[in-house]
Amino acid sequence: MKIRDTVHFAWYKKAFVMAIILVCLFSSIRMTRADFGQLISNIGQVQAFLKKLAHPDFGYLPRLVDPMIKTLKMSALGTALGVLFAIPFAFLATTVVTENVVITQIFRFFLNIIRTIPNLLLGALLVAIIGIGEATGVVTIAIFTFGVTSQLIFESIETIDLSPLEAARAVGANKLKTAVWTVWPQVSLSVLSYAFYAFELNVRASTVLGYVGAGGIGVKLNEALGLFRYERVSVIILFIFAVVVAVDTLSEAFRRRLM
């Protein structure tokens, strides 16, 4: 037997997949009317923009400290509120606790609705309802955190050891006592880990909520872009990057200690 008889390259399958990808690519270009020639012709403008961006105005940095502190406060308070409300909803969204499929499906449907609303759209809606300011940012972050962490928590509940639950029910414990004394001890560390993870996400998300008037350092970024002060935009981006890296590092260290 020859070597070529034992090797199967399946080149025709790869060629078919490549042809499908190319067809989809060119179809997308035609449907969206993308003009790459125009993009190439604007290279000079891109270079001018990057040239301004490459000269950050570090003298503007002291004016960013207070908005960044507000952003961190928004993220911390919104995360705490979101996780606090997510815990009881997550318990009700699993049959391990409720033993009732109807109740579980109702709560899961509600949580799915919350998760489908984009963060910026939610912020814009709440600005129209509550008004401009940090309070809107806190509520937006809390709702976003509620949607994210509730799913993570009820998925953790569904993977716990069921033996303590069976023992508690065997001695006559009701659903509330069973949830508090047998379910919560098994998921408490996971909930803390999810809270730190949500805080990481919220620090990033809260920086852009200022575009819709939800307060924080995003307001300064929006102002700098609106005034074409790209040297300020550059220092704001660097400051946000440094803070996000610091928060990610601390959060990861806390989560490792919990595990």
What is the reported pLDDT for 15?
82
Per-residue pLDDT reduced to its tens digit, 145-198: 999 899 999 889 988 888 888 888 888 888 888 888 888 988 988 898 899 888
Helix axis angle for 184-206 and 134-157, nearest 10°, is: 150
- Taking a C-beta distance cutoff of 8 angstroms, is the pair 156, 190 a contact? yes
DSSP conformation class of 227: T
CA angle 60, 218, 48 (to 5 degrees): 60
| CATH class in words for 60-258 | mainly alpha
What is the reported pLDDT for 82?
94
Sequence ranges of the domains in the chain? 3-52, 60-258
- Other Cβ atoms closer than 10 A to 141: 32
Per-residue pLDDT reduced to its tens digit, 59-71: 888 888 888 888 8
Nearest to 179 by CA among 84, 85, 87: 87
**In whole angstroms, what is the distance from residue 48 CA to residue 43 CA?**
9
Cα distances (Å, whole numbers) of residue 254 to 199, 201, 214: 12, 15, 29
All residue ranges of the chain with pLDDT < 70 are 1-11, 39, 213, 258-259
Nearest to 208 by CA among 140, 146, 147: 140
**In whole angstroms, what is the distance from residue 92 CA to residue 102 CA?**
11
| Residues composing the chain | 259
